[in-house]
Structure 1
Amino acid sequence: MKLELQKINETINAISNYIDQDEWSDALLGCEVTLNALDKYDKNSIVLKLYFNLAGHFIDVGTYLKNIDAISKGIKILEQNSEYFEENFNINFFYNLANGKLSLANDCGHSNERVNFKNIELFNEVKNLYWKTFKLIDKKQHYELYQQNLINLANVLKQQFRFSEALQLYNLVINQNTIFPQAWLNRSSCLEKIDELLNHRTNKMIIEIIKGYDFACESQLVPIDWKPFYLHKSRFLNNQLNSENIDQDEIETQKEYSSMSHFRQWCIVESLTLNIHGMYCSCIANERDNLTLFQNIISSTNILQYEQYLNRLKAEFSLMRLMLYESKFSDSSSHDFESGYSELNDREIINIRTEKLRACFRLCFSILDKLAIFLCQYFSLKTRPNTAFNNFWYDNKKILEEKENFALIAINSLICDLNEKNGQFGFYKTWRNSLEHHILFLVPDNFELSNDSTHTYVKISEFESSLLNLIQLTRSAIFSSVFAIVEDLRQKIPDDKDTSIEITIHKKEFNGFP
């Protein structure tokens, strides 16, 4: 006998109440009964809506109870009806499916296993779903979901060792005065991972880690039973600061930030510096791009040639960053007048400013492709005439995936994001090909797009926001490439390190022309 749909809807609401009251076993039983009842109906819009709500409950209950079978049932419901759910539930569909798959990947939050090349595909799938949600969500209309999705996306990036991007997203949410302690706590966790894997610890880092635990102690969203642990962590770390005043440190940091040039301040705000300290702090230590292969390294390898390669990449990144800055803050109208373009009423935005944006886009891929060669040279990998960032991994997959190197996980994750077939930013490569080999027009946001095989039209606001994201991805790739080489060098510390000769490399000074 069929249970009436009205009764099924009441049961689903009751399941929600069970969850709110922490009656998880009753909630799971209700889910099972409801699924059996729904399966007797032919699918229509009402039934599918009930299925969608039930799937979310299965995932929530399964995650809390560490019940893989329940989570899998929730995911199965979402995937079997994905076409309808994607069209009608959109961001909630992607978000719920991502949460379910992340729960499986993390063993319901209880896995101690790091992301590796055996499980990375599932994490990449989860990351894609959070990226989809991010690109579709209306921040004003779904503000809390917007923040929660950003936190979850940052968590996956952190798990894949993409530290610069994860911290960037945590900082974004925190600067919006979030109520969610997960942003602060996971930011602290990310900094602790940097300390662990990169042997990078400063007083400022300790202060920033403490802030996360202090926020959790004060948050009403943190269970009371958890707070003593966070309080213990905060006190333990405070004892390492030699009575340093955290409030005074904040004042000094702001004063140092204000003393820097407007350009450098902008680089810090937009997460465009090549400085590990700058991932989490805006003090004077972030005044220059001091990323190097030499920090805390003892090696018998001729590392100078690789540092020279890094210099070249940093120079191109610096040029690209400067052109983006000038496109935003410099007036090029007199140069545009002198260029004298023909008025064709085609609505293309053509001026020096947009040409700088286009040049920046090309430079990003130039840097990424050079990073591929950089890594191939260091790890003695196979290359070919068209070796590039998007293909060098697949030519050397076996060698790379045999290595236990956290930064190679990050690089693999970045490559997946830029994959033309299933990466969320694969269209960047399409744009790049249009810039290089066909014709790409930048047009006003109200322009009606009409692309073909040789002409690509992109709205100016979309191009600018995408360019900033691509530069931040490129920055992450530079960090990850350096970390990959440094980690490999650490694993190969020579036996005769006590008799090694120390080499000191100074930063170039630019007081004038040589």
Structure 2
Amino acid sequence: MQEYIQNPIIKELHEKIENHYNKSEYEEAILIIDSVVRQDTYIESTLKNYAVVDFASHYIEIADYIRVENSNLALKLVCKAIGILNHKAASVPEMQLLILCNIARAHLIKYDIKHIEKANDEGMSILTFSYDNTIFGIKEDVSQAISNYWLAMKEINEGDELYNIRNNLSNALARVGRFVEAIALFNDNVTEFPERWESRASFSDALLNIVDSSIMQRTPSLYYAVAEGYVSSLRHDLNNGIRNTIEQNLNICKFYLQNTDLPFDYDNILKNRIEENNEFDQHSDFRKFVLKNHLSLNEHAIFCKCKNSSKDDLRIGLKAGSSHFSALGVMPKLDGLINRLVSEFSFARLQYYNYIKDLVKFEDDVEYSILSNFDICGYKIEQLRLSYRLSYSILDKIANGVIDLSDIQRNGRVSYFENVFDMYKEELKYVFNIHLSSLYSISLDLNKDQGSLRFFKRLRNEMEHGFLAVNESQGVKNSVVSVSENELREFTFDLLKLTRAAIFSFTFFIRTQTIHTYG
């Protein structure tokens, strides 16, 4: 790989393309890329596959530049790039991360191109779910981008690449209404890379979006948190378009705070943050763990870890009061379901915490056969298994809740979270709700045929109905399905966060479908 990077011919070709970019001479740049991709340009045979992957990525770069002015050509370029990168993926495993990220970016550009004309007509600069006429419009391109970014996240755990992948994944999640997950990832970037501005601005964007779309309580601390991200971003060298957009959004915060007779200045933004940190220190160790790892079911905790985040209090109604309309008898059932989800999730979360902290000590009063020593047994590991099983079962309950809220007749059909949307596509295709889009997107990640997290269902089924062995390391030579203890711990943590996001989306779906008046 190093030999390729240092190759003088490759360097010269990149410089030529860069010069064409600087002059907006995209057709000339495309001719050079075509020549490399067709292998008409002389490049050493051992480097040809690297070159094809590397230069095909330039198609995506150009498509991003021209997608507004020449959407037809941009669409052709991203489709061409996707085909080439998929074809070459197996030939250059060293470039797997680059391929995953570029295919993801290409799919997002492809998705945006489909909606660019309507966005221009409405004078919008940010493309969101609102440009789709059905939740099912996200199935191909956005879902593929999200899947690729999830896979790329597993390939790297530090540095600028992690920041960029996490930021891009978060933006893709926000496109389909997965704001809770996006905000958590943006927040991780802000914490780990405080010198970067992109995730700060996007964190604030996502907060405004989730408040606008979810009938959440508007509080001064929320607007101070939004303003903090924007003010910090404005200290950087931004182009005029980005700067103007941030300043416009910042005015939203100023307007709200001034209307509530609260001062808007940096001192009060800083004061809000200091108060949050002081109050966070007063939480129990368990609550600190919950808040740090984005595992709460508290709306305020989505953006703040102060004393108002001390308890999980998620509900379909608003604390200030709300009036709902729906089919007779459905609302009490849904209210009970939310309580059930919160109760089971909090217990699953506690089991995970007890496992990783080794807090619950049990008397060693069970002996196991030595013939099955490839499977870790005992009270401690059962906490982890229980946490995983409970988390996944919550998703299936959400699937049933979607059916009940949408007043769909089951007619004997049995559905699960990962297939409920496709099973009831005809009934759901006219339900236009960004939080249903979010749930559908999560189900696509878990789809047992193509989802990037499809093995989650297999693990759950093996735990419930089969014999999933958990061992100290990979590679147990036996006929049973097995995972290492470290893998199961990581999968359970990821599943908890995914399930938490699904509970929020389902709750917001109920609200936005049923609230008539609120005060």
| C-alpha deviation, 1:363, in angstroms | 0.7
**Do the aligned partners of residues 57 and 439 (structure 1) sit closer, same or farther apart at CA in structure 2, a change above 3 Å counting?**
same
Decide which of 80, 86, 91 is 1:79's aligned counterpart: 86
Decide which of 173, 177, 182 is 1:161's aligned counterpart: 177
Structure 1 vs Structure 2 CA RMSD = 2.6
Corresponding residue for 1:127? 146
Corresponding residue for 1:39? 38
Unaligned runs of 5+ in 2: 1-6
Unaligned runs of 5+ in 1: 1-5, 505-514
Corresponding residue for 1:404? 432
Alpha-carbon distance in 2 for matches of 1:321, 1:40: 54
**Do the aligned partners of residues 457 and 181 (structure 1) sit closer, same or farther apart at CA in structure 2, a change above 3 Å counting?**
same
Letter in 1 for 2:229: G
**Do the aligned partners of residues 464 and 55 (structure 1) sit closer, same or farther apart at CA in structure 2, a change above 3 Å counting?**
same
| C-alpha deviation, 1:262, in angstroms | 1.5
**Do the aligned partners of residues 435 and 29 (structure 1) sit closer, same or farther apart at CA in structure 2, a change above 3 Å counting?**
same
Alpha-carbon distance in 1 for matches of 2:477, 2:419: 30
Corresponding residue for 2:493? 468
Alpha-carbon distance in 2 for matches of 1:326, 1:466: 16
Alpha-carbon distance in 2 for matches of 1:373, 1:457: 30
Letter in 2 for 1:252: E
- Equivalent residues in 2 for 1:240-319 (5 A)? 240-241=256-257, 242-243=262-263, 245-295=268-318, 297-301=322-326, 302=329, 303-319=331-347
| C-alpha deviation, 1:8, in angstroms | 5.8
- 2:36–2:55 Cα contact (<8 Å) kept: no
| C-alpha deviation, 1:223, in angstroms | 2.7
| C-alpha deviation, 1:163, in angstroms | 1.5
Corresponding residue for 2:201? 185
- 2:448–2:455 Cα contact (<8 Å) kept: yes
Alpha-carbon distance in 1 for matches of 2:442, 2:189: 22
Letter in 1 for 2:203: R
Alpha-carbon distance in 2 for matches of 1:392, 1:464: 27
- 1:418–1:428 Cα contact (<8 Å) kept: yes
- 1:105–1:119 Cα contact (<8 Å) kept: no
Corresponding residue for 2:390? 363
Letter in 2 for 1:471: L
- 2:39–2:48 Cα contact (<8 Å) kept: no
Corresponding residue for 1:507? none
- Residues 1-52 of structure 1 show CA distances to partners (whole Å, capped at 9, x for unaligned) of xxxxx88635522245327xx5152354133234136525499542222222
Give the match's secondary structure for 1:439.
Answer: coil
1:138 paired to 2:156: yes
- 1:27–1:61 Cα contact (<8 Å) kept: yes
Q: Which has the higher contact order (CA 8 A, sep 6+)?
A: 2
Alpha-carbon distance in 2 for matches of 1:436, 1:225: 53
- Residues 339-381 of structure 1 show CA distances to partners (whole Å, capped at 9, x for unaligned) of 2334458243222121010011111122111112222122122
Alpha-carbon distance in 2 for matches of 1:10, 1:326: 54
- 1:64–1:108 Cα contact (<8 Å) kept: no
- Equivalent residues in 2 for 1:349-388 (5 A)? 349-383=376-410, 384=412, 386-388=414-416
Give the match's secondary structure for 1:366.
Answer: helix
| C-alpha deviation, 1:81, in angstroms | 2.7
- 1:8–1:37 Cα contact (<8 Å) kept: no
- 2:419–2:447 Cα contact (<8 Å) kept: no
Letter in 2 for 1:198: S
Q: TM-score, normalised by structure 1?
A: 0.86
Corresponding residue for 1:425? 453
The percent identity for this pair of structures is 22
- 2:36–2:52 Cα contact (<8 Å) kept: no
Letter in 1 for 2:205: S
Alpha-carbon distance in 2 for matches of 1:333, 1:400: 48
- 2:469–2:481 Cα contact (<8 Å) kept: yes
Corresponding residue for 2:111? 105
| C-alpha deviation, 1:269, in angstroms | 1.1
Q: Which moved more, 1:30-39 or 1:346-355?
A: 30-39
Give the match's secondary structure for 1:175.
Answer: helix
**Do the aligned partners of residues 231 and 355 (structure 1) sit closer, same or farther apart at CA in structure 2, a change above 3 Å counting?**
same
- 1:419–1:426 Cα contact (<8 Å) kept: yes
How many pairs does the alignment contain?
A: 478
Corresponding residue for 1:149? 165
1:114 paired to 2:128: yes
Decide which of 220, 232, 242 is 1:203's aligned counterpart: 220
